[in-house]
Structure 1
Amino acid sequence: MADRITANLPSRDFDATAAFYTQLGFAVGFRNAGWMILTRGDLVVEFFPHPDVDPLSSCFSACVRVDDPDTLYRDWSAVGISAERSAIPRLTGLFKLADAPRMFALVDPDGSLLRVLDNKDA
């Protein structure tokens, strides 16, 4: 196995978190009372219980670097997540900032931000 690092994000409720991410193509790889690991191919995100996290003020985030953000965006946008700027959860469209890779962003139900970055622009 190649060296890697995975994101660790809060979850107010493992059942709700798993249900949300399952819609995005993730599967539960491991779960007990204190930890949950979700996988989608080579993408891995891990969750710890944090019942008091406030989705409106959460500062948790992770960068997801992929070779094909267009396909991932199409897959995730098909779920019907709101694009409204204040919605939680929400999914932005693809965009490009100066001196940054092309990307889109997902905010999950617990307020965690996943920036999905294009490896070709990195």
Structure 2
Amino acid sequence: MTVVTIPILPSPDLDATARFYATLGFTAQERHPEYLVASRADGAELHFFPHPDMDPKVDAGGCYVRFTTAAEARELHDEWAALDLGDARLHPPVETDYGLLEFALIDPHGNLLRIGGFLGR
């Protein structure tokens, strides 16, 4: 059995969200007035729903994207670090005491993407 989980994150403006995530290599696979599905060639997929009154201090969402290896996570961080991410905040990778290399991206709307990969693989 294969199980896939996909986060559904809030967005105050689906068009702005689609543009920002396109910068990160995501393509809008589906775009409806009430929904956005964005995915990358590496298999990462995010869904967004409209939340026009979103307050990032109260309403932001979050998810975890886990790669098999730390090298894959670091490669993604380095790819994103070379981009102009505007109001987004990209945090550097750190090695955790629980065996993962992790970094975080906070998108312009306050959603947290924590990305990691297993050390030693």
What range is the shorter-chain TM-score in? Answer: 0.7 to 0.9
Q: Tell me the equivalent position of 1:72.
A: 76
Q: Distance in 2 between matches of 1:94 and 1:69?
A: 8
Does 1:109 find its partner at 2:94? no
Q: Distance in 2 between matches of 1:60 and 1:3?
A: 22
Number of aligned residues = 117
Structure 1: 5+ residue runs without aligned partners? 83-87
Return the offset for 1:109. 1.1
Which of 57-66 and 32-41 deviates more?
Answer: 57-66
Q: Tell me the equivalent position of 1:34.
A: 34
**Could you say if the C-alpha distance between residues 59 and 76 of structure 1 is closer, same or farther in structure 2, counting changes exceeding 3 Å?**
same
Across the aligned residues of Structure 1 and Structure 2, the Cα RMSD in angstroms comes to 2.1
**Could you say if the C-alpha distance between residues 17 and 104 of structure 1 is closer, same or farther in structure 2, counting changes exceeding 3 Å?**
same
- Residues 35 and 50, structure 2, Cα contact 8 Å, conserved in 1: yes
Fraction of identical pairs, as percent: 34
Return the offset for 1:59. 4.3
Structure 2: 5+ residue runs without aligned partners? none
- Residues 60 and 109, structure 2, Cα contact 8 Å, conserved in 1: no
TM-score, with structure 1 as normaliser:
0.85
Q: Distance in 1 between matches of 2:8 and 2:120?
A: 25
